[in-house]
Amino acid sequence: MEILIILLLILLNGVFSMSEIALVSSRKFKLENAARKGNTNARKALELANNPNTFLSTVQIGITLIGILTGIYSGEKIQDNLRVAIEKIDWLKEYSQSVSVAVIVVVITFFSIVFGELIPKRIGLMFPETIASVVATPMTLISKITKPFIWLLTKTNDIFLGIFGLKEQKDVIVSEEEIKAIVQESAESGEIQQIEQSIVERVFALGDRKVNELMTHRSDLLCFNITDDLTAIKEKAHIEAHSVYPVYRKSMDNMVGVVSVKDIFPKDFTTTKFNLADFLRLPVMVPESAPAYKVLEKFKESKMHYAFVLDEYGSVVGMVSMDDILDALIGDVTEYNQQEFQIIKREDNTWLADGGYPYFEFLNYFHLQNRELEEGEYNTLAGLVLHVTGYIPKTGDIIKWNEFEFEVLDLDGPKIDKVLIRKT
Residues 8 and 125 in one domain: yes
For residue 155, the model assigns a pLDDT of 82
Q: What is the mean pLDDT of residues 366-376?
A: 65
80-139 per-position pLDDT tens digit: 777 777 777 777 777 777 878 788 888 888 988 999 899 999 999 999 999 999 998 888
Same structural domain, 258 and 323? yes
Q: Could you tell me if 143 and 237 lie in one domain?
A: no
Looking at the fold, whether 15 and 158 belong to one and the same domain comes out as: yes
**Per-residue pLDDT for 336 more than 60?**
no
**In angstroms, rounded to a whole number, what is the distance separating the alpha carbons of residues 373 and 360?**
9
Question: Does residue 180 lie in a domain region?
Answer: no
Residues 351 and 315 in one domain: no
Please state which of the ranges 8-17, 144-153, 401-410 shows the lowest mean pLDDT. Answer: 144-153
Residue 338's pLDDT band (boundaries 50, 70, 90)?
very low
Instruction: For residues 342 and 353, give the distance between their C-alpha atoms in angstroms, rounded to a whole number.
Output: 6
Its domain, for residue 361, covers 343-423
Does residue 178 belong to any structural domain of this protein? no
Query: Does 323 share its domain with 351?
Result: no
Residues 261-275, mean pLDDT to the nearest whole number = 69
- Residue 232 belongs to domain with CATH number: 3.10.580.10
> Of the given ranges (78-82, 319-323, 354-358), which has the lowest mean pLDDT?
78-82
Average pLDDT of span 18-41: 88
Instruction: Say whether both 401 and 281 belong to one domain.
Output: no
Give the chain's domain count. 3
- Residue 338 within a domain: no
Q: Is pTM, for the whole model, over 0.75?
A: no
Asked whether residue 393 falls in the same domain as residue 316, the answer is no
**pLDDT above 60 (res 362):** yes
pLDDT for 286: 92
Given 289, 306, 330, the domain boundary residue is: 330
Shared-domain flag, residues 359 and 237:
no
| Structural domain ending residue among the three candidates 330, 354, 377 | 330
- CATH classification at residue 384: 3.30.465.10
Give the end of a domain, one of 102, 137, 163: 163
394 part of a folded domain: yes
* Pair (262, 354) in one structural domain: no
Of the ranges 11-20, 91-100, 148-157, 235-244, the best mean pLDDT one: 11-20
**Structural domain contains residue 191:** no
Q: What is the pLDDT of residue 104?
A: 80
Say what the pLDDT of residue 314 is: 85
| 265 vs 237, residue with greater confidence | 237
In terms of domains, do 152 and 68 share one? yes
| % of the chain exceeding 90 in pLDDT | 15
Is residue 289 scored above 80 in pLDDT?
Answer: yes
Lowest mean pLDDT among 237-246, 303-312, 313-322: 237-246
Q: Is residue 71 part of a domain?
A: yes
- Give the pLDDT confidence of 144-174 residue by residue, as tens digits: 888 888 888 778 878 888 888 776 665 566 7
Residue of higher predicted confidence among 350 and 51? 350
Residues 306 and 412 in one domain: no
Mean pLDDT on 392-417: 90
Residue 271, pLDDT score: 46
Strands 284-287 and 306-310: parallel
Q: Does residue 199 belong to any structural domain of this protein? A: no
Let me know if residue 42 belongs to a domain.
yes
Residue 402 clears pLDDT 70, i.e. is over it = yes
Share of the chain above pLDDT 70, in %: 90
